[in-house]
C-alpha cells in the first residue's frame, strides 16, 4: 500500500481550508501534517480538523522553510503578493508545490518560480481550477476531436456577479492593485488560460485591452449615503449594502461564503458579523473604499493562423462566475451557457448537448468551482504519489505562457496600444 502524501498548508484561509478538505475525503491518500498562518484562529481550525501535532503549527511560512523538510508537498495559499518567496524557498527545499493562482504578481517573478521548480525537479501545479472543471474539459475534448472543425473565433464572458465584485474587488482583498494585483490577473487569469488552452498549440501574436473602474467611485455616491452601511439611511435601495450581503444572510442562517470571510478571528454569527460591519472593511460604503481595480475589461487576441478571441470581464452581472462561451469553428459552433455545452454541426444542421462527467463528492465542502477544486487536488496528489507530472493540467510551462498573456494585456490597457507578444517573450 502507498502511504499518504504528506502536505503542509501555507496560508490557512479560504483556499487553504478548501484544498485541505481533500484529506478528509481521502485520508488514505493525503495527510495534512503542518500548517502556517499568522492568524491563530485560522491555523487552530486546521490543526483541529487534521489533528496536526503542535510542533508543526507555525505563524509564518518562513519557519517551515527554516526547518528540515518534513512533508512531500506544500499548498501555497497565501495572498497574491506572497506567492513568489515561499514558492521559491519550498522549491529549493525539494517540496512539490500546489501554488494558488496567480503564480506571482510580475512576469519576472512567474519566470523565476518556474525556473526554481524546474531546477529542483519538483512538481508544480498552479491553482487554475477551471482546467479541471468537467465542463471545460469536455469543451477541450470536443475541440480536439474536431467537433467544430478548425477553431476560428472564441468569445468568452466572465460575469463576476454584482455582490461578489463588491465583496472581493471593492471592499475585499483584491480591491487595490498595490496590495494584491490588477483584476485581470487576480480574477481573469483563469479565463485567459482557458482561451490559450482552447486555441491549442497556436501562439498568440498580438493583443489589445481596454477597461476601467466604473461606478464604485466617490463621485457615484448617492446623496445621503453614509460611510458605513450600518449608519446609512439609503442602504435599503443599495444592492451593494453590507447589511444585505452579510447581515441578512447570517440572519437567515447562512454562514458560508461570503459571510465566512469577514469574521477573521471567530465563527460568523449575528454579533460577529455586526461587529465586522461596524469596524471592518466589509462594512464600508462601496463608494468610499480605497479600490482601484477595473470593473470591466475586454481583451482581444489574435493567434497564429488568424484565430481571434474576445474576452470580457464584467462586475455588474446577475450570474456569478458562470462563464459563457461560444467557439466558432469552420464546421460548427460550440456554445456553453454556464450549464451545458451545445454543438451545432453545419453539415447535419443538428445540435448535440454535452455535460462533463463529474464524480466530485459534493460534501466536505469540496464542490467549489463546479467540483474543479476537488479534481485539481485529485490530480496534484496523484502526480505527487506517482511522481508523474503529466497528470497536472496546470503545469509550469502552459501556466507561465498564459500568465505572460495576462501581463501583456494589462500592458496594452495601460499604454493604450496593441502589444506584439514577442516583445515580452524576448524581454
For ligand NAD, the binding residues (CB under 6 A) are 10-16, 36-39, 42, 60-61, 77-80, 82, 100-101, 127, 129, 173, 186, 369
- How far from 49 is each of 129, 130, 147, 255, 363, CA to CA, in Å? 24, 27, 46, 18, 15
**Nearer to ligand NAD among residue 172 and residue 356 (C-beta):** 172
- Nearest distance from C-beta of residue 79 to ligand NAD, angstroms: 5
- Nearest distance from C-beta of residue 239 to ligand NAD, angstroms: 23
Nearest residue to ligand NAD, using CB?
13
3-state SS class at 350: strand
Neighbouring-strand partners of residue 157: 312, 324
425 phi/psi in degrees, rounded to 5: -60, -35
DSSP string covering 21-60, please?
A: THHHH-TTTEEEEEEE-S-HHHHHHHHHHHT--GGGEESS
**Nearer to ligand NAD among residue 173 and residue 272 (C-beta):** 173
Q: What is the CA radius of gyration of the chain?
A: 22
**Nearer to ligand NAD among residue 267 and residue 418 (C-beta):** 267
- Nearest distance from C-beta of residue 284 to ligand NAD, angstroms: 17
- Nearest distance from C-beta of residue 300 to ligand NAD, angstroms: 24
Residue whose C-alpha is closest to residue 122's, from 384, 423, 329, 351: 384
Residue whose C-alpha is closest to residue 340's, from 133, 135, 132, 130: 135
- Nearest distance from C-beta of residue 201 to ligand NAD, angstroms: 25
**Nearer to ligand NAD among residue 169 and residue 328 (C-beta):** 169
Pairing status of strand 73-76 against strand 96-99? parallel
3-state SS class at 232: coil
**Nearer to ligand NAD among residue 369 and residue 413 (C-beta):** 369
3-state SS class at 414: helix
- Nearest distance from C-beta of residue 84 to ligand NAD, angstroms: 11
- How far from 134 is each of 370, 374, 375, CA to CA, in Å? 8, 11, 9
- Nearest distance from C-beta of residue 319 to ligand NAD, angstroms: 16
Strands lying side by side in the sheet with 73-76:
57-58, 30-36, 5-10, 73-76, 96-99, 124-126
- DSSP state at residue 178: T
**Nearer to ligand NAD among residue 25 and residue 82 (C-beta):** 82
DSSP string covering 118-154, please?
A: HHHT--EEE--GGGG-HHHHHHHHHHHTTTTSSEEEE
**Nearer to ligand NAD among residue 15 and residue 138 (C-beta):** 15
- Nearest distance from C-beta of residue 46 to ligand NAD, angstroms: 10
**Nearer to ligand NAD among residue 38 and residue 146 (C-beta):** 38
Amino acid at each position: 500500500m502507498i502511504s499518504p502524501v504528506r502536505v503542509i498548508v501555507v496560508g490557512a484561509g479560504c483556499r487553504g481550508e478548501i484544498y485541505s478538505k481533500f484529506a478528509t475525503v481521502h485520508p488514505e491518500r493525503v495527510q495534512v501534517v503542518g500548517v502556517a498562518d499568522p492568524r491563530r484562529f485560522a491555523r487552530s481550525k486546521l490543526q483541529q480538523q487534521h489533528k496536526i501535532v503542535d510542533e508543526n503549527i507555525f505563524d509564518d511560512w518562513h519557519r517551515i522553510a527554516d526547518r528540515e523538510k518534513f512533508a512531500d508537498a506544500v499548498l501555497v495559499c497565501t495572498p497574491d503578493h506572497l506567492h513568489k518567496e515561499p514558492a521559491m524557498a519550498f522549491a529549493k527545499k525539494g517540496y512539490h508545490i500546489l501554488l494558488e493562482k496567480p503564480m506571482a504578481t510580475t512576469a519576472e517573478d512567474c519566470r523565476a518560480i518556474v525556473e526554481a521548480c524546474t531546477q529542483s525537479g519538483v512538481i508544480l501545479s498552479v491553482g487554475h481550477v477551471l482546467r479541471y472543471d468537467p465542463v471545460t474539459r469536455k469543451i477541450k475534448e470536443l475541440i480536439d476531436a474536431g467537433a467544430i472543425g478548425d477553431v476560428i473565433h472564441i468569445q468568452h464572458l466572465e460575469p463576476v456577479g454584482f455582490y461578489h465584485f463588491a465583496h472581493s474587488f471593492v471592499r475585499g482583498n483584491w480591491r487595490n492593485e498595490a496590495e494584491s494585483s490588477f483584476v485581470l490577473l487576480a480574477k481573469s487569469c483563469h479565463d485567459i488560460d482557458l482561451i490559450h488552452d482552447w486555441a491549442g498549440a497556436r501562439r498568440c501574436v498580438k493583443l489589445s485591452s481596454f477597461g476601467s473602474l466604473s461606478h464604485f467611485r466617490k463621485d457615484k455616491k448617492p446623496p445621503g449615503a453614509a460611510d458605513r452601511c450600518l449608519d446609512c439611511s439609503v442602504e435599503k435601495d443599495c444592492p451593494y449594502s453590507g447589511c444585505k450581503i452579510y447581515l441578512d444572510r447570517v440572519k437567515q442562517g447562512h454562514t458560508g461564503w461570503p459571510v465566512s470571510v469577514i469574521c477573521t478571528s471567530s465563527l460568523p454569527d449575528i454579533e460577529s458579523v455586526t461587529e465586522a460591519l461596524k469596524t471592518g472593511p466589509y462594512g464600508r460604503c462601496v463608494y468610499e473604499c480605497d479600490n482601484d481595480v477595473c470593473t470591466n475589461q475586454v481583451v482581444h487576441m489574435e493567434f497564429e493562423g488568424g484565430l481571434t478571441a474576445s474576452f470580457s470581464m464584467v462586475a455588474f452581472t446577475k450570474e456569478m462566475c458562470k462563464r459563457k462561451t461560444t467557439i466558432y469553428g469552420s464546421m460548427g459552433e460550440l456554445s456553453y451557457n454556464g450549464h451545458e455545452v451545445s454543438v451545432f454541426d453545419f453539415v447535419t444542421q443538428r445540435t448535440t448537448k454535452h455535460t462533463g462527467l463529474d464524480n466530485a463528492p459534493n460534501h466536505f465542502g469540496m464542490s467549489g468551482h463546479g467540483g474543479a477544486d476537488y479534481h485539481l487536488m485529485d490530480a496534484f496528489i496523484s502526480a505527487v504519489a506517482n511522481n508523474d507530472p503529466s497528470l497536472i493540467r496546470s503545469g509550469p510551462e502552459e501556466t507561465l505562457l498564459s500568465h505572460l498573456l495576462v501581463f501583456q494585456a494589462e500592458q496594452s490597457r495601460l499604454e493604450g496600444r496593441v502589444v506584439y507578444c514577442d516583445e515580452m517573450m524576448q524581454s
